Amino acid sequence: MNRQPRQQFDVLVVGGGPAGMAAAVRAAESGHRVGIIDDNPAVGGQIWRGESEAGSEASKWIERLQSSGAIVLRSRVFQQPGQRILLAEGDDGIWELSFEKLILATGARERFLPFPGWTLPNVMGVGGLQAMVKSGLPIRGKRIVVAGTGPLLLAVAAYLRQHGAAIPIICEQASWRKLARFSAALLAQPGKLLQGLQLKREVGETRFSANSWPVAANGRTTVESVTISRSGKPETIPCDYLACGFHLVPNIELPLLLGCQIQNGYVRVDDFQRTSVAEVFCAGEPTGIGGVELSLVEGEIVGLSAAGRIAEASKLFGRREKLRRFARSLDRTFRLRSELRSLPQPETIVCRCEDVYYSRLRDQSGWRAAKLQTRCGMGPCQGRICGLATEFLFDWKPDSVRPPIFPVRVKSLSGLTGDSNLELCEITGGRS
Amino acid sequence: MHMCSQITMTVNGAPIVVPSGTTVAVAMAIAGQICRTSVSGEPRGPLCGMGICFECRVVIDGKPHRPGCQILCKQGMDVKTDE
Amino acid sequence: MNDDAYDVVVVGAGIVGAACADEFTRRGMYVAVVDRDMVGGGATAAGMGHIVTMDDSEAQFALTRYSQQLWQKLRPELPIDVEYDQCGTIWVAADEEEMIEVRRKQDYYGQRNVPTERLDAQTLTRLEPNLRPGLAGGLLVMEDAVLYPPCAARFLMERAQKQGATLHLGRSVAQAGQGRVTMTDGFEISANIVVNAAGAHAAKLTPGVEIKKRKGHLVITDRYTGFLRHQLVELGYLKSAHSISNDSVAFNVQPRRTGQILIGSSRQYRADQTEVDNGILARMLQRAQEYMPGLAQMLAVRTWTGFRAATPDKLPLIGPWPGDSSLFLATGHEGLGITTSLATARILVDQITGAKPEIPIQPYLPSRAAMEHAHV
């Protein structure tokens, strides 16, 4: 391990998904010294996850990133010790990273809602199960029920089928009417429509059931079947896995820590993706859930802006606006229905880190009181999972963000006060 | 860097072989083992797949609470179910 | 808008307010409790939950020992989520100079029937193997305990409510005294007695009360069962708690039932922002790792801050406020609010009902400041 002084970047990008990569590529190709931070074993974020299929959009961007000269720092940002400095924790130590411009591309996470049996092993998120398959989980010949809400259901179901799983049913909680309106909106976006039709074809004989949601996951030590409600009628379907997630929610913890203005749960940005904090930009899902293409174009806009290439950035505004319209229709279509609030039973676990049951939370006056009295939200997930559930179930508002915004080693919180001799890891470029 | 295409490791004392590029959480699943036991004793496995839910925590080479879904298997790794 | 006249209205639903409400109602009085937030908020929500018998003055000893024994008696009634655990405190001596202090403490406690055990270096290591080698020893105070304060406060308040107390949460108090408490929205509660148990905010309610906020930081780790068995405090802690003006840190760790470790402690004056101060947090954690190097690799899950209510002479204010025959104080407990909450309630209510308190109350009377000034 080397002792390194503070690492300086012209542009520091937090998040190695489509938005982050596009931003880093554009800024680095413009000649700036660019660092890109991500905590996964490979870049690509959740959606591309180190994809290497030749010729795919993902692999093109990954290759471009590798040749751009941007430095990949495999780590997690957890604290802001001063102006224009962030601390990130890696495997062997921490990095102190200073920057002229900061681009937040922290992506989104799935929303999970509690229902009986949801904590059984092999009940995972929709993106969660896809991530596991991409990381080597064998699913050929397995039966997988896909449930929840959002375009991810169809996309992941198609992916799972491609890898040999049998998908007996896709349960979408949105109504047929909402979905029909959504499909009509897709007509305005031929590219999207084509994608949708392709996906529909790929899922083939899989039943697609709207007005449907999981009521219970059943099994002893792992999930063995799922009971779903289809327009009010219960049906139990045997399965090996349940992939269940209720759309995506932006990861805004770092923007909050930095003091960025948030509106309706998203980071507020101007045309050039600038946040309310000087020299801090934001691109991709934290500014609005809109999928890969919107993330890419926002990433390019912000990368070009940060590199001072304003005219080129402006040329992309039109494409961004079109994709934002799609994003807004996503939001409307996949809003959660109130029936989902009745899913948890008194003994259904809501906080998985601390095993806090629904009945213990029901009578609490708010998020803070619940935290203090039951320890809900006080575990390592720092309320990222249960906070979204309780917000939906009880309309509780989360409280303010404090460092560390991810659990980090005690050692990592105790370093770098001027003359500290904490060691830093060597920064490695390219493939991590 | 020369990479083996197969990795031999131990999960809860038993040896298994997985392709390189497999994460530890997946190795646990392939071995039929749970990642961790919850505060009240429930068996738990990965949920979010992206290092946020902390349900895939495992003990790797004696170090507890390591997020299995974010760590690639390495030759000779010793993995155990976490508390 | 008024409410029925009460015997007592208590402002503050933290551990001290809750203990007072419980004690007043136990003795048959009609009590209202008001808090701008929830039960067990403020310093009660933020602090470590250590029940400790202190020896830094006779008055401090008397109050903490009395209260610690009350907690011991209450233990069988405490629900499981209060997590009462008589794990004991070990005062850790880093060198021979601190071992002299250990002997002094042992004599002091011994003379007052507080059981302790002096630990040499070997015994210390046996009891706490994760302390770094090379420490000189320590003093084990086996009757000290830890608990989880927000649930303890809730337990006491629920008992008070069963005994007839009414609870008014989410109500900010604008004025307290002269036989009534007035909320910011004009709502009034009348009572013969008004108790200011508002902790770090007491001075706002009772102008002239000399209470300053003393900010503290804490960190909690993931679960590491068996790493730590006792509450550990460095003897240098006393220097930190005694310092009037400097920011200071001291090694102080506590085991939770879950196996999580609570790491403290820090004290800052002239710091009234709730934000975590990364610099002092780092210092505090460095100090902790000096005593327990194994902490370094542990996952820190959360950090937070809180404000202790500190008085100039480091003793709480328990008793009548001169100049207002209805107003009593139960505040200024600095880092000993959890420990002394039960005794505070007892001696406060004793003063009001005319019962004979178990310990002399003069050192805690709010009027002592005036008396001191009179002697100058």
Partner-chain contact B65 C297, CB within 8 Å: no
Report whether pLDDT(C373) > 90.
no
Residue A420 placed within a domain = no
Long-range contacts of A385-390 (CB under 8 A, 24+ apart): A385/A112, A385/A351, A385/A352, A385/A353, A385/B47, A385/B48, A385/B52, A385/B53, A386/A350, A386/A351, A386/A352, A386/A353, A386/A356, A388/A111, A388/A112, A388/A249, A389/A111, A389/A112, A389/A113, A389/A114, A389/A350, A390/A350, A390/A361
Which residues, in sequence order, are bridge partners of residue C304?
C218
Judge whether A106 and A19 are in contact, CB under 8 Å: no
**Is there a single domain that holds both residue A72 and residue A130?**
no
Residue boundaries of the structural domains of chain C = 2-47+149-210+313-375, 86-142+212-308
- In the three-class reduction of DSSP (H, G, I as helix; E, B as strand; rest coil), residue B22 is classed as coil
- The mean pLDDT value of chain C amounts to 94
Based on the domain organization, do A227 and A290 belong to the same domain? no
Q: Is residue A403 part of a domain?
A: no
Looking at CATH, the fold of the domain delimited by C2-47+149-210+313-375 is given as: FAD/NAD(P)-binding domain (3.50.50)
Q: What is the pLDDT of residue A210?
A: 94
Q: Is C299 on the interface with B (CB under 8 A)?
A: yes
Of A87, A66, A117, nearest to A12 by C-alpha is: A87
Interatomic CA distance for residues A261 and A270, integer angstroms: 11
Structure tokens given for B12: 């809860």
| Residues contacting A129, CB < 8 A, separation 6+ | A137, A144, A156, A160, A241, A243, B49
Count of A-B CB contacts under 8 Å: 104
Exposed e or buried b for every residue in A317-355, given b needs 16+ CB within 10 A?
Answer: eebbebbbebbebbeebbebeeebeebbeeebbbbbbbb
Q: Of A95, A61, A100, which Cα lies nearest the Cα of A75?
A: A95
Contacts of B47 in chain A (CB under 8 A): 112, 123-125, 128, 352, 385
Q: Give the pLDDT of residue B4.
A: 62
In chain A, the number of structural domains is: 3
**Closest by alpha carbon to A351, among A338, A342, A335, A362?**
A362
- Determine the distance in angstroms separating the CA of A77 from the nearest CA of chain C, rounded to an integer: 14
Here the CATH number for the domain that contains residue A320 is 3.50.50.60
Q: What is the CATH number of domain B6-81?
A: 3.10.20.740
Residue A418 lies in a domain: no
3-state secondary structure of A413: helix
Cα–Cα dist A114/A216, whole Å = 9
How confident is the model at residue A430, as a pLDDT? Answer: 32
Position A53 scores a pLDDT of: 76
Per-residue HEC secondary structure of A226-265 comes to EEEEECCEEEEEECCEEEEEECEEECCHHHHHHCCCEECC
pLDDT at C223 over 50: yes
Task: Determine contact: C297 vs chain A, CB below 8 A.
Answer: yes
User: Is the distance from CB of C277 to CB of C306 less than 8 angstroms?
Assistant: no
pLDDT for the residue numbered C270:
85
Banded model confidence at residue C68, pLDDT cuts 50, 70, 90: very high
Residue in chain C nearest A417 by alpha carbon: C279
Contacts of C288 in chain A (CB under 8 A): 410
Helix H or strand E encompassing C351: helix C337-353
Handedness of CA A72, A110, A162, B26 (dihedral sign): positive
Alpha carbon of residue A102 to chain centroid: 19
Residue C302 and residue A378: Cβ atoms within 8 Å?
Answer: yes
Residue A408 near chain C (CB below 8 Å): yes
| Residues 321-350 (C) with a CB less than 8 A from some CB of A | none
According to the model, what pLDDT value does residue C1 have? 46
Chain B residues close to A112, C-beta within 8 Å: 47-48, 53
Strand partners, A242: A123, A145
In angstroms, the CA A409 to CA A415 distance is: 11
Where chain A has pLDDT below 70, the residues are 1-5, 50, 187-191, 193-194, 197, 200-204, 416-432
The pLDDT of residue A206 is 83
Residue C327's SS3 state is strand
Of B65, B66, B81, which to mutate for an interface test with C (greatest number of C Cβ within 10 Å)?
Answer: B65
Which of A43, A109, A135, A374 to mutate: most B Cβ within 10 Å? A135
What would the pLDDT profile of C114-158 be if each residue is shown by its tens digit? Answer: 999 999 999 999 999 999 999 999 999 999 999 999 999 999 999
Structure confidence at residue A3 (pLDDT) = 33
Minimal CA separation from C251 to chain A, in Å:
14
> CA-to-CA distance for A385 and A377, rounded, in angstroms?
8
Same domain, A317 and A349: no
pTM (predicted TM-score): 0.93
pLDDT tens across C277-332, in order?
A: 999 999 999 999 999 999 999 999 999 999 999 999 999 999 999 999 999 999 99
Write down the residue that tokens 């009037």 correspond to. Answer: C244
C81 contacts in B (CB within 8 Å)? none
Query: Given an 8 Å threshold on Cβ–Cβ distance, is C224 in contact with B64?
Result: yes
Residues A207 and A137 occupy one common structural domain: yes
Judge contact between C266 and C246, C-beta under 8 A.
no
The whole-angstrom separation of Cα C195 and Cα B33 is 58
Is A350 inside any structural domain?
A: yes
With CB atoms and an 8 Å threshold, state whether A355 touches B71. Answer: no
Contact at 8 Å (CB) between C76 and C83? no
Helix, strand, or coil (residue C159): helix
pLDDT at A432: 30
Q: Mind listing the pLDDT tens digit for each residue in A177-203?
A: 999 888 877 766 666 766 776 776 666
The shortest C-alpha distance from A76 to chain C (Å) reads 14
Give the closest of C223, C297, C299 to B83, CB-based: C223
Cα separation, C132 vs C40, whole angstroms: 36
Contacts of B42 in chain A (CB under 8 A): 119, 349, 355
Whether residue A157 is contained in a domain is answered as yes
In this structure, are A234 and A178 located in the same domain? yes
Q: What percent of chain C has pLDDT over 90?
A: 92
What are the domain boundaries of chain B? 6-81
Same domain for A20 and A88, yes or no, is yes
On whether both A101 and A155 belong to a single domain, the answer is: no
Residue B23: strand pairing partners: B72
Pick the CATH number of C86-142+212-308 from 3.40.1030.10, 3.30.1360.20, 3.30.420.40, 3.30.9.10: 3.30.9.10
Q: What is the pLDDT of residue C98?
A: 95
Whether residues A39 and A143 share a domain: the answer is: no
For residues C262 and C222, the answer to whether their CB atoms sit within 8 Å is no
Helix axes C149-162, A367-374, angle to 10 degrees: 100
Cβ A104 vs Cβ A131: under 8 Å: no
Q: Are A144 and A165 in contact (CB under 8 A)?
A: yes
What is the span of the domain harbouring residue A224? 123-246
Give the pLDDT of residue B83: 84
Which chains contact B through at least 3 pairs of Cβ atoms less than 8 Å apart?
A, C
Does B38 contact C at CB distance below 8 Å? Answer: no
Cβ neighbours of A409 in C, within 8 Å = 296-300
pLDDT score, position A1:
33
Tell me, what amino acid is at A120? L
